[in-house]
Structure 1
């Protein structure tokens, strides 16, 4: 146990150093605002930006390595409790809180939408460009004229933040949005631990079973925390980027906890409110409802439960929209993000290839091919959600929600790296070992590397600095790696050898 404590402590220290370096680099290489009176996050010179990029990528390598090695400890079945991981989480997350945005400019759009709502303007009719000034200038060009693509609860949260900070204090407002994200992160921790403890089964499959449950139960809570909130993808995007996915996922997990504990009315309300942050959370409500109905003892009870959930969801929807005060215009802007092309969307990529071929052979247009491929992708996504919801009574609502949302992300017309968290968070609560395999971890690293800390395209100097910083951190890890992690496998082999020798002596 002492050796494990040293190992976890070593991972914590490496990850904390990485988080500090990443945060320090963000002050010159992050997503800095333009033209704001708050001089704290000022634009830096090109030389400072290069140094910040080197520091950021050195920190990112350290953070990812610490997370990877911590996963190795958990995979080996060592008795690491969730109490040991809470200090790790806050040591890795808190250094990112006071710094500029990382890996995305989206939070500037949130602040602008909150300012629009504060002026009493319709955020589902007007884009941030209507504000003018620094607030509009900091919004990415593609979103300046676009109405808010988020639900009314997300807009209400940003409205509340801007009401406190004022719309002329962009830095303070962004920090307020980061505090909202931390609240969502806290909800995720609370919910994941309870789902993992209460489920206690489903090693890799999500299905119940005594043998599988016993195998999965070893380190289940710690493993679930490792796969979710300690995941670098969650840290850099939910905390560093202050994305509203943190609030959506926190409410989603809390609603699933309520369903698991038999409080289906409360669970329905909370999951409905999660969908009022971002609509994909409605998949969790569908899967939880299917599970709740499917576990009823007879058909009549199932129909009554289904009707009750539908009625509770409708009431929660109407009350939530009324309380937010943004009206129903959000239903007309849900397709806004689909206007953006992202390389991570398979359906869009297939459509582009088909578009090139169709234009080359003169049988169609690129736009038509992309639209057709995206439509097919959406249809496949809907089918995947329906299939997972149908199996929810056998797999459980968490597993069904996780697989359904992952299927929806893969087939969506627009995919951002942090969208993977939609499915990974509920899935990790009951099947975290699916997310600790080498393939899943490598995919996580690839997604982390997809976006730059500045949220913009790289320059040659920036790329060279990033490679230099990452290489320096990797070399330092090789030269001065923590002895506890290297010694642990040797100790386990020595213990096994001692056991075998003792057995031979007894024979």
Structure 2
């Protein structure tokens, strides 16, 4: 065997993929922890001191974290290709995802400080202080405020009442101790990922289930951000495919209840509410009476969720809170940058901040129009279930892209729907977006010019995306299944949805 053929065989080995992903995941967990937080933030030591940052050499640990993220992203692409080509089955993919996730279980909330904001906001609720009016700054310097990112210390909570109620309960039962609080949310995130994965497998074609499971459970967005970073967006992502299944079964009360719950967790759930109402209205049987019943269940569930916290509608006024972060890599900022360059080369005299305000409004308007169009098309009762799922999932992606700020975990809203329902081309774009978004949340030294490491970060991103799309475009004949796995064609398909 030549050196080249041996390298190809190793690259396409399921065992090598499992081991490489585990090494990359463990490397990320350790390196991100040792790289430490942004300046001005003091994190808790964590269990057995495992969350302590390094005393020196933090830039080097940051580079190692970037290497790990690049490696995990590329190994994820290889796992998807093995699943797509029926080299591995659903069980092998699920087992691989579990092993990749294991290093995150005891790690600090990685690549984001949001979990520490959750603790402070939950404690505000426990103390009878409205988190929709004030931020964690009221605690003053100390263990509750110190781990919170400075940009969020004076901002109110932008989450729905169910999210806030969950945070308040977690803070109450843990006495606002960061370690058990994080572990409660991580267990909840794992449960949500399991639900999303099972629902995605149920929606996907029988011969595409392994690929769908790989796209959900083994996705670095899930491993690093939803479980590693414990973000509440995972709850919306878990409810989305279940809502679609409930609509297809015509369990309208359940679909309405779950969609309203998703909306009461976070704003993207409103897309699910609109989809359920429109899908029921498009059904000719008892159109008006049936739609009125769905609307009544939705309204009752929404009101009940709002009643779980003292100021249940206060979050509507705080929805602009995430926009306080300045980003240059979201769609409105990119459009403003292009416009600023063009105007600067021609007439000049335009202020970038003013241009950014214009592009944000334009992107929001265009995004709203596109979301409405996708929901209208997705609500067609004659449309196949997977076409509907792809349309509703696309609407959620549009919401993430049109917003004034985007984070890696926003992809969670649509991940299960698109993994189960999108075609090959859709999967390629979903994987590319997953890989690209992994590089939007990195240790601090990698994201700032004065450290001299930002060009290295961009190089990692370019290499990861280039290899990703090269491999995905490789239309080779599907490989022979390895020992211990069964091709999808040999498995008994489930009943059609």
TM norm structure 1: 0.79
Q: Does the alignment pair 1:400 with 2:391? A: yes
Work out the CA distance in 2 between the residues paired with 1:381 and 1:117. Answer: 34
Give the CA deviation at 1:75: 3.1
- Contact 2:31–2:61 at 8 Å: present in 1 too? yes
Give the CA deviation at 1:225: 1.4
Corresponding residue number in structure 2 for 1:447:
437
Q: Does the alignment pair 1:90 with 2:98? A: yes
Corresponding residue number in structure 1 for 2:362:
376
Of residues 412, 416, 419, the one that matches 2:403 is 412
Work out the CA distance in 1 between the residues paired with 2:214 and 2:423. Answer: 8
Give the CA deviation at 1:339: 3.0
Unaligned runs of 5+ in 2: 1-8, 465-475, 482-497
Corresponding residue number in structure 2 for 1:288:
276
Of residues 34, 42, 63, the one that matches 2:52 is 42
- Contact 2:260–2:298 at 8 Å: present in 1 too? yes
Counterpart secondary structure, 1:378: helix
Corresponding residue number in structure 2 for 1:214:
none
Of residues 117, 137, 159, the one that matches 1:150 is 159
CA RMSD for the aligned pairs? 3.4
- Contact 1:249–1:422 at 8 Å: present in 2 too? yes
Corresponding residue number in structure 2 for 1:16:
22
Do the aligned partners of residues 136 and 307 (structure 1) sit closer, same or farther apart at CA in structure 2, a change above 3 Å counting?
Answer: same
Work out the CA distance in 1 between the residues paired with 2:418 and 2:242. Answer: 14
Of residues 135, 140, 152, the one that matches 2:144 is 135
Give the CA deviation at 1:286: 1.4
Work out the CA distance in 1 between the residues paired with 2:145 and 2:455. Answer: 30
Would you say how many aligned residue pairs link Structure 1 and Structure 2? Answer: 449
Give the CA deviation at 1:355: 6.2
Work out the CA distance in 1 between the residues paired with 2:31 and 2:184. Answer: 21
Give the CA deviation at 1:99: 0.7
Of residues 44, 57, 63, the one that matches 2:72 is 63
Do the aligned partners of residues 338 and 359 (structure 1) sit closer, same or farther apart at CA in structure 2, a change above 3 Å counting?
Answer: farther
Corresponding residue number in structure 2 for 1:262:
250
- Contact 1:234–1:421 at 8 Å: present in 2 too? yes
Q: Does the alignment pair 1:312 with 2:318? A: no
Corresponding residue number in structure 1 for 2:470:
none
Work out the CA distance in 2 between the residues paired with 1:429 and 1:26. Answer: 31
Work out the CA distance in 1 between the residues paired with 2:211 and 2:43. Answer: 44
- Contact 1:114–1:161 at 8 Å: present in 2 too? yes
Work out the CA distance in 1 between the residues paired with 2:479 and 2:356. Answer: 54
- Contact 1:344–1:416 at 8 Å: present in 2 too? no
Give the CA deviation at 1:148: 0.2
Of residues 218, 222, 225, the one that matches 1:234 is 222
Work out the CA distance in 2 between the residues paired with 1:302 and 1:242. Answer: 41
Do the aligned partners of residues 429 and 35 (structure 1) sit closer, same or farther apart at CA in structure 2, a change above 3 Å counting?
Answer: closer
When Rg is computed on C-alpha atoms for both structures, the one with the higher figure is 1
- Contact 2:419–2:427 at 8 Å: present in 1 too? no
Counterpart secondary structure, 2:307: helix
Higher helix share: 1
Work out the CA distance in 1 between the residues paired with 2:213 and 2:444. Answer: 28
The 5 Å alignment of 1:157-168 reads 157-167=166-176
Q: Does the alignment pair 1:27 with 2:17? A: no
Work out the CA distance in 2 between the residues paired with 1:456 and 1:55. Answer: 11
Give the CA deviation at 1:404: 0.9
Give the CA deviation at 1:232: 1.1
- Contact 1:188–1:253 at 8 Å: present in 2 too? yes
Output one character per residue of 1:450-469: Cα deviation in whole Å (capped at 9) or x when no partner.
Answer: 321459745877949988xx
Work out the CA distance in 2 between the residues paired with 1:446 and 1:35. Answer: 28
Work out the CA distance in 1 between the residues paired with 2:417 and 2:37. Answer: 29
Corresponding residue number in structure 2 for 1:117:
125
Q: Does the alignment pair 1:340 with 2:325? A: yes
Work out the CA distance in 1 between the residues paired with 2:350 and 2:73. Answer: 45
Give the CA deviation at 1:44: 2.2
- Contact 2:121–2:167 at 8 Å: present in 1 too? yes
Output one character per residue of 1:408-461: Cα deviation in whole Å (capped at 9) or x when no partner.
Answer: 222222222332332333122212523433x55344322212321459745877
Do the aligned partners of residues 239 and 37 (structure 1) sit closer, same or farther apart at CA in structure 2, a change above 3 Å counting?
Answer: closer
Output one character per residue of 1:466-505: Cα deviation in whole Å (capped at 9) or x when no partner.
Answer: 88xx89xx9xxxxxxxxxxxx997869xxxxxxxxxxxxx
Do the aligned partners of residues 23 and 379 (structure 1) sit closer, same or farther apart at CA in structure 2, a change above 3 Å counting?
Answer: same
Q: Does the alignment pair 1:431 with 2:422? A: yes
Moved more, 313-322 or 337-346: 337-346
Do the aligned partners of residues 323 and 465 (structure 1) sit closer, same or farther apart at CA in structure 2, a change above 3 Å counting?
Answer: same
